[in-house]
């Protein structure tokens, strides 16, 4: 083991320098550090160290020492201190691994086949140990130095990007309830408002939560392992989720429409897309009391793609708007399974007032609210009105 190792030793610095340029080219977050003198020098020195120790240990037949792993962990901690994301770290580690293998291959001649196989074999054995040490240092630094809001954002983005769990991170749940809280009016939240809203909602808890834009907040709540219906939420999960949403909405000072769906760890895209679609048809709430699922909104989701049906339902809702608070009344009536006493109590009106409103809805539309047809038509029309698709006002939003 001489020629290949000697060639690689002579190229160590040049290869490390080239690696810094490749990181900057392929990983967006590394462009600024690569252009700043101190940060670039740090990344360059670490790359040189890795290559030198690889050659030393592989040549002697030993694995990485505890001191080597300590240096590697410190480098991971330094990247966390630079506020580089976990996603960027996964990408850089992958690029680094590919570069190391390519450097060995390009330096080898046919006579170096034995040494090449030895080097690649060593990388295969020791590479995972180095990677685990790096991510352990990174996550340890995140835990110590990052604000709670930043740590929550890191967890959310890691899960939603389907990134593999890093060494040192808590094992993710198999399933998560993906909650999309969509804030529409009167205006999107500013960056300062978003940060304050999340900080108030979390109260020191580390829960995956992230703002994807000024008007949309994502929350991921771990679900227990189960083979049941994804659309049926366990009561503890529902209670915990509403408890997290309540201060978030209160701090934002704006109503929000809530859509939820279940996502599998490593396959979150489908659940996220569905939760977003549900939030687009769900009615806004001043106080989050309902987590809308596919079961709650399948009619609205189907209607959203059919213009003639949308227009017809909007016309029905427009006629209901001519009565005394009929939209909110019908919504409460159906949500209480058409139980008059419970509905009147929820609305804080006399049962006779409720009866009058139900009759008035029939007079304005020609549809009996207590009939099968009435249930089918009014639930869809009311949902669209409460969701803001009709000119229905924010004042008529659901309170139950």
The structure's pTM equals 0.67
Assign 68 a pLDDT band (cuts: 50, 70, 90). very high
Q: Are residues 28 and 123 in the same domain?
A: yes
Q: Which of 299, 319, 340 is the last residue of a domain?
A: 299
Q: Are residues 178 and 295 in the same domain?
A: yes
Q: Say yes or no to pLDDT of 70 above 70.
A: yes
Backbone φ, ψ for residue 21 (5° rounding): -65, -40
Residue 209 β-bridge partners: 219
Q: Is residue 375 situated within a structural domain?
A: yes
**Host domain of residue 207:** 173-299
We report the CATH number of the domain holding residue 358 as 1.10.10.2840
- Side-chain-side CA neighbours of residue 400 (13 Å): 18
Q: Are residues 387 and 320 in the same domain?
A: yes
Q: Are residues 262 and 357 in the same domain?
A: no
Whether the Cβ atoms of residue 227 and residue 274 lie closer than 8 Å to each other: no
**What is the rounded average pLDDT for all residues in the chain?**
85
Q: Are residues 272 and 236 in the same domain?
A: yes
Q: Are residues 195 and 113 in the same domain?
A: no
Q: Is residue 158 situated within a structural domain?
A: no
- Side-chain-side CA neighbours of residue 19 (13 Å): 30
Residue 258 β-bridge partners: 181
What is the predicted pLDDT for the residue at 166? 53
Q: Are residues 321 and 286 in the same domain?
A: no
Q: Is residue 229 situated within a structural domain?
A: yes
What is the predicted pLDDT for the residue at 231? 65
Q: Which of 145, 163, 195 is the last residue of a domain?
A: 145
What is the predicted pLDDT for the residue at 399? 38
We report the CATH number of the domain holding residue 242 as 3.30.70.270
Whose CA is closest to 173, among 220, 228, 226, 222? 222
Q: Is residue 353 situated within a structural domain?
A: yes
Task: Tell me how many helices (H) and strands (E) the chain has.
Answer: 17, 4
What is the predicted pLDDT for the residue at 394? 33
Q: Are residues 202 and 294 in the same domain?
A: yes
Q: Is residue 362 situated within a structural domain?
A: yes
Assign 118 a pLDDT band (cuts: 50, 70, 90). very high
What's the average model confidence in pLDDT over 117-131? 93
Q: Is residue 274 situated within a structural domain?
A: yes
Q: Are residues 272 and 345 in the same domain?
A: no
- Please give the Cα distance from 277 to 184 (Å, whole number): 14
- Please give the Cα distance from 72 to 324 (Å, whole number): 69
Q: Which of 269, 299, 329 is the last residue of a domain?
A: 299
Q: Are residues 237 and 285 in the same domain?
A: yes
CA angle 103–105–108, rounded 5-degree value: 105
Residue 269 Cα to chain centre, angstroms: 10
**Which residue has better confidence, 186 or 287?**
287
Q: Is residue 354 situated within a structural domain?
A: yes
What is the predicted pLDDT for the residue at 155? 81
- Please give the Cα distance from 345 to 394 (Å, whole number): 22
Total tally of structural domains belonging to the chain: 3
Q: Is residue 155 situated within a structural domain?
A: no
Q: Are residues 268 and 329 in the same domain?
A: no
pLDDT in tens, 15-51: 999 999 999 999 999 998 888 899 999 999 999 999 9
Q: Are residues 226 and 270 in the same domain?
A: yes
């Amino acid at each position: 083991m001489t020629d290949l190792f000697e060639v690689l030793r002579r190229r160590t610095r040049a290869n490390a320098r080239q690696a810094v340029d490749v990181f900057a080219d392929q990983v967006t977050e590394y462009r600024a550090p690569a252009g700043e003198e101190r940060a670039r020098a740090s990344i360059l020195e670490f790359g040189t160290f890795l290559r030198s120790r690889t050659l030393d240990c592989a040549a002697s037949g030993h694995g990485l020492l505890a001191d080597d792993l300590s240096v590697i962990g410190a480098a991971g901690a330094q990247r966390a201190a630079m506020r580089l994301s976990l996603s960027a770290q996964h990408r850089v580690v992958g690029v680094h691994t590919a570069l190391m293998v390519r450097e060995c291959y390009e330096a080898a001649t046919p006579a170096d086949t034995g040494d090449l196989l030895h080097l690649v074999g060593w990388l295969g054995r020791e590479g995972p140990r180095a990677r685990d040490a790096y991510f352990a240092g990174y996550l340890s630094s995140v835990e110590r130095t990052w604000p709670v809001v930043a740590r929550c954002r890191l967890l959310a983005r890691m899960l939603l990007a389907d990134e593999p769990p890093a060494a040192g991170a808590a094992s993710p749940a198999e399933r998560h309830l993906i909650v999309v809280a969509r804030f529409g009016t009167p205006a999107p939240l500013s960056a300062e408002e978003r940060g304050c809203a999340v900080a108030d909602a979390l109260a020191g808890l580390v829960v995956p939560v992230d703002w994807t834009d000024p008007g949309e907040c994502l929350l991921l709540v771990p679900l227990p392992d189960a083979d049941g219906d994804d659309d049926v939420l366990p009561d503890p999960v529902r209670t915990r989720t509403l408890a997290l949403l309540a201060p978030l909405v209160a701090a934002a000072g704006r109503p929000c429409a809530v859509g939820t769906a279940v996502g599998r760890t490593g396959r979150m895209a489908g659940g996220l897309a569905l939760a977003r679609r549900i939030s687009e048809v769900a009615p806004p709430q001043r106080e989050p009391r309902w987590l809308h699922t596919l079961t709650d909104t399948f009619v609205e989701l189907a209607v959203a793609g059919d213009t003639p049906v949308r227009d017809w339902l909007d016309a029905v809702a427009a006629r209901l708007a001519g009565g005394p608070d009929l939209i909110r009344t019908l919504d409460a009536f159906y949500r209480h399974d058409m139980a008059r006493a419970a509905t009147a109590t929820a609305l804080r009106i006399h049962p006779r007032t409720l009866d009058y409103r139900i009759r008035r809805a029939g007079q304005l539309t020609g549809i009996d609210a207590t009939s099968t047809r009435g249930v089918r038509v009014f639930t869809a029309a009311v949902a669209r009105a409460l969701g803001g698709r009709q000119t229905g006002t924010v004042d008529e939003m659901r309170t139950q």
